[in-house]
Amino acid sequence: MSPKPNLPVIRTARFALVALAVSVLAACAPAPVKTPPPALQAPEAPPPEPAKPAGPKVVEPTAAELSQFRACMAGLRAPAKAAEVTDAAFDQYAMTVSPDMGVLPLLDRQPEFTTALWDYLAALVDSRRIAQGKERMATYAPLLAQVQVRTGVDPATVVAVWGVESDYGQNFGQRPLLQSLGTLACFGRRQAFFRSELFEVLKIAQRGDVRAEDLKGSWAGAFGHTQFMPSTYNRIAVDFDGDGRRDLVGSIPDALGSTANYLVKSGWRTGQPWGYEVTLPTGFNAALAGRTNRRVLSQWQAMGVARVDGGTIDLPADTRSAVLLPTGINGPAFLVFKNYDAIYSYNAAESYALAIALLSNALRGQPGLRTPWPTDDPGLGRDERVELQRLLSARGHDIGAIDGVLGSASRDAIRKEQARLGMAPDGRAGQKLLKALRAGD
Ligand code: CA
């Protein structure tokens, strides 16, 4: 089970960064490959939007919509009660909500910009996230050691999930959950799903696990340090600090303990690595790659699959494993084990799982990939995106806030500069453009 709704459109749109929304479908390798395809343009889940001081602007309903909403909510009282939401809680938390019609277009939003995997990883596994993750590992070392003792999940993995999910608690999302889920429960095409999530979040409020005013998250309902959906919250969250409440917003011990618990429930194997970057034998059949094309470790080793750093793989010969070629036969290759699947289950996206896996390696102090991604124009980290925006702004482009988020205004400015420099005006921010602007070209 995933903490997020298992729908690409919802998973993708829990982030406001439309410009980084993407498609899993764009396969590029010529070799016939089973699932998942070695996609050049793979990532399903763009990096979270940076924290903003104020939440998104609410779109008020018309009088008719408000009337429809009131009737709908009144009709949900009985099914909510059947789902163990008390009348008192329903009156207090649900009947006082007004809809935000602004969340409805997000249900059907199509990505306007396709992000290459290396761009996605450049933003999610950047120097800032690595540095902050190491700080968190030091600050919370005693807690993380306790989490490891009680769950078997190591500190770097827990902190890597935290970093990718909410930027270490710096980005929870700003939309009031009761308002968003109430709206989606009464309008739009996924009402049954969102009603169920609305009832789950009402139970969280009813129990007093999280203060009602702290129930803010993505438009689709993921929230807190771990960005769990309410149903996942109720199923997986643990009261790690023992104060009697499962608070994944206000308690870092509860949040990190719950992240580890999620991985345990997803089959975590204590002490095993998620996987390794590997070299493949000449002529390796790319059709053998894919997370679900599993073989035992000894079979891969017999074919000549080996760690890129020459190290040994200290696991039983019958360990179930798979080869990943996320950008095809010419990019980095990975041999992954059960713990990669556990990480994958967190958001059911290959790009997302890879970001956590590679961030966890970096947090362990391990070197980055030996094999470059198949591009001559690598992507930008968030600080580099800020620098690029400053350079664009200095050239007179009106790009709005300089926040490292490349929205449509930044993309437009990038296209103009690319055209001026004789580059393909695709709106993509890469090292080549940054270097050219830095050099004053
Ligand atoms: Ca607690």
Over residues 98-143, the pLDDT tens digits come to 999 999 999 888 766 678 999 999 999 999 999 999 999 999 999 9
Under DSSP, is residue 70 helix (H, G, I), strand (E, B) or coil? helix
Under DSSP, is residue 385 helix (H, G, I), strand (E, B) or coil? helix
Q: How far is the CA of 198 from the centre of ligand 1 (A)?
A: 22
Q: How far is the CA of 128 from the centre of ligand 1 (A)?
A: 29
Q: How far is the CA of 241 from the centre of ligand 1 (A)?
A: 5
Q: How far is the CA of 384 from the centre of ligand 1 (A)?
A: 38
Q: How far is the CA of 240 from the centre of ligand 1 (A)?
A: 6
46, with CB counted inside 10 A (0-12, 13-18, 19+), is buried
**Predicted confidence (pLDDT) at residue 57 exceeds the cutoff of 90:** no
Residue whose pair of structure tokens reads 């390798």 in the numeric block: 29
Q: How far is the CA of 412 from the centre of ligand 1 (A)?
A: 46
**Predicted confidence (pLDDT) at residue 198 exceeds the cutoff of 60:** yes
Q: How far is the CA of 246 from the centre of ligand 1 (A)?
A: 5
CA 87 to chain centroid? 35
Global pTM reads: 0.86
Give dist(CA 310, CA 317) in Å, integer: 17
pLDDT given for residue 277 in this prediction = 98
Query: Are the beta carbons of 168 and 136 closer than 8 angstroms?
Result: yes
Give dist(CA 5, CA 14) in Å, integer: 10
Give the pLDDT band of residue 55 (cuts 50, 70, 90): low
What residues sit around ligand 1, an ion, with C-beta below 5 angstroms? 239, 241, 243, 245, 251, 254
Decide which of 173 and 114 is more confident. 173
Average pLDDT for the chain:
88
Q: Which two tokens stand for residue 71?
A: 């009737």
pLDDT given for residue 56 in this prediction = 76
Q: How far is the CA of 248 from the centre of ligand 1 (A)?
A: 8
For 3-17, 110-124, 170-184, 298-312, which range has the lowest pLDDT when averaged over its residues? 3-17
pLDDT given for residue 348 in this prediction = 84
Q: How far is the CA of 253 from the centre of ligand 1 (A)?
A: 7
Q: How far is the CA of 180 from the centre of ligand 1 (A)?
A: 25
pLDDT given for residue 53 in this prediction = 46
Q: How far is the CA of 237 from the centre of ligand 1 (A)?
A: 10
Decide which of 36 and 229 is more confident. 229
pLDDT given for residue 71 in this prediction = 97
pLDDT given for residue 138 in this prediction = 98
Q: How many CA atoms lie within 13 A of 378 on its CB side?
A: 11
pLDDT given for residue 4 in this prediction = 58
Handedness of CA 416, 414, 219, 46 (dihedral sign): positive
Q: How far is the CA of 212 from the centre of ligand 1 (A)?
A: 16
Q: How far is the CA of 157 from the centre of ligand 1 (A)?
A: 21
Give dist(CA 109, CA 410) in Å, integer: 20
pLDDT given for residue 238 in this prediction = 97
Q: How many CA atoms lie within 13 A of 157 on its CB side?
A: 30
Q: Where are the beta strands (DSSP E) in 116-201?
A: 175-176
pLDDT in tens, 279-302: 999 999 999 999 999 999 999 999
pLDDT given for residue 35 in this prediction = 28
pLDDT given for residue 313 in this prediction = 97
Q: How far is the CA of 125 from the centre of ligand 1 (A)?
A: 30
**Predicted confidence (pLDDT) at residue 54 exceeds the cutoff of 60:** no
**Predicted confidence (pLDDT) at residue 26 exceeds the cutoff of 70:** no
60-81 mean pLDDT: 96
Decide which of 365 and 441 is more confident. 365
Give dist(CA 268, CA 260) in Å, integer: 9
Give dist(CA 293, CA 174) in Å, integer: 39
Q: How far is the CA of 185 from the centre of ligand 1 (A)?
A: 29
Q: How far is the CA of 64 from the centre of ligand 1 (A)?
A: 42
Q: How far is the CA of 226 from the centre of ligand 1 (A)?
A: 14
Q: Domains in the chain, ordered, with CATH?
A: 1-51+116-170+267-372 (1.10.530.10), 60-99+174-217 (no CATH), 382-438 (no CATH)
Q: How far is the CA of 254 from the centre of ligand 1 (A)?
A: 5
Q: How far is the CA of 104 from the centre of ligand 1 (A)?
A: 33
